[in-house]
Chain A
Amino acid sequence: MWKAIIYKEWIKIRWTAAIFLALGILVLVNILLRIRHDILFVDAINYWYNILFRGYNYASMLKFIPFLAGLGIAVAQYFPETVNRRIKLTFHLPVKENRVLMGMHLFGTGSLLLIYAIWLILFVIISTVFFPPEIMHSTLITLIPWFMGGLATYFMAALILLEPVWLFRVLYALVAYGFIAMFYQRAGLTAYLPALPELAVLTVLSSIVVLFSGYRFRKGEM
């Protein structure tokens, strides 16, 4: 039965996941081409200078891509479940309701993590070709909150989509906005370094919040 559940989740998100994976790769290819182009024009020494002393982030195009992917996958996965309250069928399966929901959620999270991992590996490869570890690290530290923010977006979007009462959806969205904004503050390269542990804890904690609206959904909260 788990196989069937996973298959159902796969059918729901496969196109969205593929599109976002491709979008991210396109953005990374664009970043690669731009680095190459700019280095040809201004020389590597000056390009590095802009990163080191002017805070230029060569991966800034990537900023909201993890956010969009998290949102997109949450919508693809949970929106169909809310149409005609279809998720009720899933909750009637002979598996504990929380467990089935966490199973779905884990699949979505896993897919998102896989996409992020592919992007990050590509990013590291591109960076190591052109830059020393110092530059790669400082840019990576700048990117990591964006990726954690993408995960948090997925978790909060699932919470909002499964919430049965519209008023609460709006209220959750306001809180989610404040929460997600913590990951996307405008800040210089490496500036997020001291906040990373706290943000990581919050991201992990937020992974189970979908249970709350799932509970309200199946208890028929109106």
Chain B
Amino acid sequence: MMVKISRYILVIIGILAASVALPELYWTIFEQVPRTPNVYYSCTLNDFIMLRSGDNGIIRHDTKGNTYTLDEFEQHLPMMFFRQLMTDGTMPDSIHGVEMDPTAINKARSYFRYTTKDMLSPRPRLWPMFESESGRVNLAMPDDYFRITTKIEFIDAATNKVNQEKSAKFTRALEEHDFAFPARLIAGIPTTRKSCDEGYFVKDSRGDLFHVKMIKGEPYVARIDIPDPMDILHIECVDLRSKEFYCYLFTRHSGVFVVMEGVYHLQRLPVEGFDPFQHEMKINCDMFNKTFAMEGEDFLKVVAVDDMYEVVDTYEETWDGIFERPDGKMFASIFPFELELRTARTGFVNFYFTRSPGFTWLLVNLVFVGLAVWLILRRKGNLLKNIPDLLIVLVTGVFGFIGTQVFPNKFYD
């Protein structure tokens, strides 16, 4: 009995190993990645320009079908290529009545990219609290790191001991603002290589949002009014030259927001349908426009807004999802499922199980059942005693076939 159990354990292990290894091998050989364009919004054309790499090299075109050379492309994106245009002497003096000043252009420009991995990855639980108004030009690394559990505690790295006095001072400051310990989320820019320090954005255990920083050794705490219930999932702080906003808030129920600097006003971004668990987002900002490019497994949607966050244009493109493409269709007819330990979507190792859509794989499974029956009969085995094995092959296909054949069902009465 125990021996039979041990065999089934081995069959399971065999199936797991095969369902990781074979699909991986399959994708390495057959996977075709769809070529998605880079989409920009031209402030001179008031239209999107796509940069697309195809079999005939790079194509640049707008939504009306006009194609552009590299020079034309750059001229229609003056905010992006102003340095090149100034060198060429083709930079306009003004656009939309605004004088073109390199400093101002540069200040307004920013780029940000969100991937699901940013949120779905292990997060540090200790952070450095910088002195944000030291009076010095350069930021300095503090001597301690803080954690926010039942209180906020600063741990001195050199001694590995809690600095009680500083911890008590900051805990009091948080309590005065009705902070509900412990912190659920802490986000900041934990590096000295930034233009200035804005401390941390902290979500407490009730889901409320706080801004915490240190000014001249003293705690600074501000509670940020958020429309509830938004359930903040992820915060990504940015260091913008324009100082327009502190951070992006990705929420479960209400979409994506930015928190405006100084006033803590929450500005909602017009990115309907964006799912932070599934989609990627690229954000391009310049003097006139911001573009939010959301990309999923089978679509791209770009929203362009003006400087008041009013939508000026949208562009959408879809393509076949993985299981609608030839490589994915073939996969789904060979393998009933796939097991992955790591995926591009997250930074965590886990058993990620993907069932193949449809039932065409059942045919292949039946072929393997037939093969197993043939092998059993050839060995003059008893089919009745192999029914569990055959069922395993029926459900798990090639994986089960490998599992049951590598660990042969051969027992003596």
Contacts and interface: CB of A to CB of B under 8 A. Distances in A.
Contacts of B128: 45, 49
Contact of B145 (A52, A182, A208): A52
Contacts of A189: 122
A125 interface: no
A175 B18 CA distance: 8
B190 A53 contact: yes
Interface string A164-183: 00001001101101110110
A38 interface: no
B349 A46 contact: no
A108 to B, nearest CB: 16
A134 B126 contact: yes
A178 B341 CA distance: 12
Interface centre among B7, B13, B347, B410 (most CB of A within 10 A): B13
B2 A182 contact: no
Interface stretch (B65-73, B153-161, B269-277): B153-161
B341 A171 contact: no
A172 to B, nearest CB: 7
Contact of A98 (B2, B142, B342, B411): B2
A194 B349 contact: yes
Interface residues of B, number: 47
A53 B349 contact: no
Contacts of B190: 49, 52-53
Contacts of A182: 16-17, 20, 341
A132 B155 contact: yes
B350 interface: yes
B3 interface: yes
Given A178-B17, A192-B349, A194-B348, A171 B412 contact: no
A208 B13 CA distance: 12
A23 to B, nearest CB: 27
Interface stretch (A13-21, A61-69, A211-219): A211-219
A136 B182 CA distance: 20
Contacts of B21: 178
Given A132-B155, A194-B349, A179 B13 contact: yes
A106 interface: no
Contact of A178 (B20, B143, B157): B20
Given A52-B145, A206-B9, A132 B122 contact: no
A44 B125 CA distance: 17
A49 B141 contact: yes
B111 interface: no
Contacts of B5: 208
A209 B126 contact: no
A221 B410 contact: yes
B348 A193 contact: yes
What bracket does the count of chain A residues touching chain B fall in?
35 or more
Contact of A46 (B17, B125, B141): B141
Contacts of B145: 45, 48, 52, 132
Contacts of B157: 43-45, 47-48
B160 A131 contact: yes
Interface in B311-368: 341-342, 347-351
B10 interface: yes
B138 interface: no
A188 interface: yes
Contacts of B411: 215
Contact of A187 (B155, B191, B349, B406): B349
B17 A191 contact: no
B309 interface: no
B406 A175 contact: yes
B97 interface: no
Contacts of A129: 160
A48 B159 CA distance: 12
Interface in B348-392: 348-351
A22 B158 CA distance: 30
A185 B191 CA distance: 29
Interface in A1-59: 43-49, 52-53
Interface of B: 2-3, 5-7, 9-10, 12-14, 16-18, 20-21, 121-122, 124-128, 141-145, 147, 155, 157-158, 160, 190-191, 341-342, 347-351, 406-408, 410-412
Interface of A: 43-49, 52-53, 98, 129-132, 134-135, 138, 145, 159, 168, 171-172, 174-175, 177-179, 181-182, 185, 187-195, 198, 202, 205-206, 208-212, 214-216, 219, 221
Given A48-B126, A132-B147, A206-B9, 7 more contacts: A132-B145, A174-B17, A175-B17, A185-B341, A187-B348, A211-B3, A212-B6
- In the complex, the 5 A-B pairs of residues with the closest C-beta atoms, listed nearest first: A178-B17, A190-B122, A44-B157, A211-B6, A45-B157
